[in-house]
Structures are given as C-alpha cells and as structure tokens.
Structure 1
C-alpha cells in the first residue's frame, strides 16, 4: 500500500509485485504519477517493470494519473477495468461524477504537458485505454492469484480485488477506513448506496484478514464481521 498525499486528501494506491513484474491498482489524480513512482522507489522496488494497471473504477482520483504511466512509444502496461466503467475510462462517454467545469479546475494548475496527456487520453482519445475487461469472479494470475469481485453501487463497474496469498482485500471505494474501523462508501460520491451495500455481501464469502481502502488505508482485525455489519444496514 502506498500513501499518496494530494493536498488535503490522502489516497492509497496499491502495488503487487514479484521479482519480474509489478501491478499497480489505481493511479491517483492527474499529475500523480511522479509521486507514485517515488513512493515505489522508496519501497525498494523501483527497478521492477510495471506490467499492469488495474483500475477499480472510473472516478478521477483513481484513473487521473493513468496517462503518465502509458508511454507514447515502447512497452506499455496492460490496463484492466470492468466493462461497466470501461467506456468512461476510454473517453467514449463522460465520467459519471465529474462535470466539465470541475474537470477543468483539476487540470488548470497542472503543467501543460500533463494537461495535454490527460486530454489526449480521456477527452480526445486516439485509442481505447482499457486493454482487458475484468469479469466478476475471475482470478488473475497476478502475485499468486488476484480475484475480481464486481461491487457496483459507487460506480456501475466498481471492483474489489482479493489477493489470495496474503488474504488482503483491495477495496477501492467500496468502503472507507476511519478511526481504525471500516465504514460504508462515501454517501455523497455513491449514487446507488443500497446497491453498494448489497455488493458488500459478496465480500463475506472471502477469508479476509486485511482490507486496504483507497481512502483511509489499511484495516486489520475482525474485518469480516465489520463488513457483514455494514452490509446488514440494508
């Protein structure tokens, strides 16, 4: 788990790696790539090539840094996302929660090169950004096994990722971590809260010891009961 400070907001992209390759789950806001690369370097794995990027969903604080990880030339990482968010990530339909005015406010302070990369990737795309669609229940051959769990509600194509060897759930925005406890998704950013809570029921079937929330970070201890209690709010 990486802790990335974006002004008043801290987010937690996650890396999974072995000696040959690395996978990044979520990419931060536009302009975040240099900070993420520095955190990877500080973790001592900066020499391992980035083979894949998994986007848990379409929100800008998860996909905004993508353009700087995809080179114009040379070997690019494979980008994964669920089909129900793929059109927004590909730039063929608007992002669900970002108006053009709000997007402009995010981009305006950034260097021109970063703005141009973002526009070329999401606003005037030359090619699809998603290389591989994720399917609910599939296990990716990544870091010993990474299971995809489709958890719609926060966005239509939101996914969580369960790393089998470490019994770790990468929760994206399906839950928040606050004061050492798991909380439900942010109501103001979750258009379909009932569906989002219903989705949490799918997580109870997994043997989870650690949860990494994109907002709030790592939670350990009694997580299955906490998840069941959140889902029980229905």
Structure 2
C-alpha cells in the first residue's frame, strides 16, 4: 500500500501456530536507496520479495535493512534476504540490539523463558521450543548501530527515536517531512483503533510508557504499525491518550 511518495507499507500474510495474521514491514526508497524496515518471520523472504516487486521496486535494488528490534517476527528472514541479494545490504539497528541480532546474546524474551523454564506451563514450554528453533541460524551482522536522535540522510531525513520497553533497543523511525511514524511494536492497530502493545509482550512495561510519552513530542499524522497496519485518525491525540495509561 502506497502511503506517500517513496513510502510503501507492505502486507505479508503469516501463519503462526495456526493463527493467521498480516505483518507490515515498510519500504522506504528514493533514487539512491531502497530501505526495508523489518524482515518478517523465518521463511518469509519470498513473500517479502513479492510484496516489494508488487510495489514497483526491484527486489535486487534493496540495499539497506533497518531493524526496529530483534524479535523473531522482525529479524526472521534477514539472513535469507541478505543471501538472496546480489549486492551488499547494509543492516542498521540500535546499538542495544546488536548483540542479540548477531547472536552474541540470547534473545531477551527467549532468555527470560529459559530462565523460568521449569515453572512454565506445557503450552508455554511448546512456545519456548518453537521460539528457540525459530532463532536458530537467524543471526546476521549489524553494519551500523544507531543512537537516539540520529538523522539518517535518506528520503528527506529519517530520525531514529529510541523507544525502549518492548525490548531494550526498540526504535521507531520518524519521516519528518511526511509526519509519518514507523512504530515497530510500540503501537498496534486493532479493529481500526490505535493501541499500545500489551504489557505481557513487553520486556519493561513502565519503560514502554515512558517511550510513548516521548512520542508525544513529535508531530505525527500517520502511523505505520507492524501489527495492524495504517492509522491516520488524529494520531497525535491518540498517542497522548495512550501515554497517560
């Protein structure tokens, strides 16, 4: 779906443990660069390739990936995408995420489940095993680490907003000229309503609220949520209300 000139919200179907849903990576591009924001679950590189081609951009021209964080539904197809492309792909992520993406550290939520494995329910033990298998072999090098407030000189300026809580190095991207926020998992859309990520999937719920308050400092007209897609109905007001909860 075209959101603005140079901004496409991709729609990629997924089936996770029997539950069907759609995830929304974002494609940002101009004459010099094609950037994919987040890379889906393991095994989704063919669908992502097709979604990029359907947007009218050659998959082979993709030369940068920005990761909002290291959860498996965001980094799952990264290594496959890198292998498939003929040219070098530069991978960017917040510096707090690098060690999880390159495999030095165990993914933060997987480590939490692992530490409490004996007390997990049978269902949660199954989820743990599937998550562990999903991360296996998915590591990739991060070529550039990002910091809060950094402006990337592409597509008229992309500001990095460090929004920890969901993970420690979670980021949003703000396209300042277009007033578009690429929200990662700090926000979602459910039945047309903008909502915050539920506390149980966040590493630190209190930190997540602080990050929501940080977003109120930006003039945001359009939000692209990885889960739920597009929201453009008085986004500033909705984010301010969510930050109070």
8 Å Cα contact 1:176-1:186 kept in structure 2: no
TM-score computed with the length of structure 2 as normaliser? 0.83
Correspondences of 1:68-87 after superposition (within 5 Å): 68-71=80-83, 75-87=87-99
8 Å Cα contact 2:33-2:154 kept in structure 1: no
| CA drift at 1:9 | 2.2
In structure 2, runs of 5+ residues without a counterpart are: 1-8, 115-125
8 Å Cα contact 2:168-2:203 kept in structure 1: no
8 Å Cα contact 1:177-1:215 kept in structure 2: yes
TM-score computed with the length of structure 1 as normaliser? 0.87
Structure-2 separation of matches of 1:73 and 1:46? 11
In structure 1, runs of 5+ residues without a counterpart are: 109-114, 123-127
> For 1:172, what is the secondary structure of its paired residue?
coil
Structure-2 separation of matches of 1:67 and 1:95? 16
8 Å Cα contact 1:56-1:159 kept in structure 2: yes
8 Å Cα contact 1:22-1:49 kept in structure 2: yes
| 71-80 or 165-174, larger mean C-alpha shift | 71-80
**Alignment match of 1:105 (pick from 130, 139, 147):** 130
Structure-2 separation of matches of 1:166 and 1:189? 30
| CA drift at 1:21 | 2.4
**Alignment match of 1:145 (pick from 157, 175, 187):** 157
| CA drift at 1:19 | 2.8
| 146-155 or 158-167, larger mean C-alpha shift | 158-167
1:112 match: none
Correspondences of 1:207-222 after superposition (within 5 Å): 207-222=219-234
1:125 match: none
1:3 match: 11
| CA drift at 1:103 | 6.6
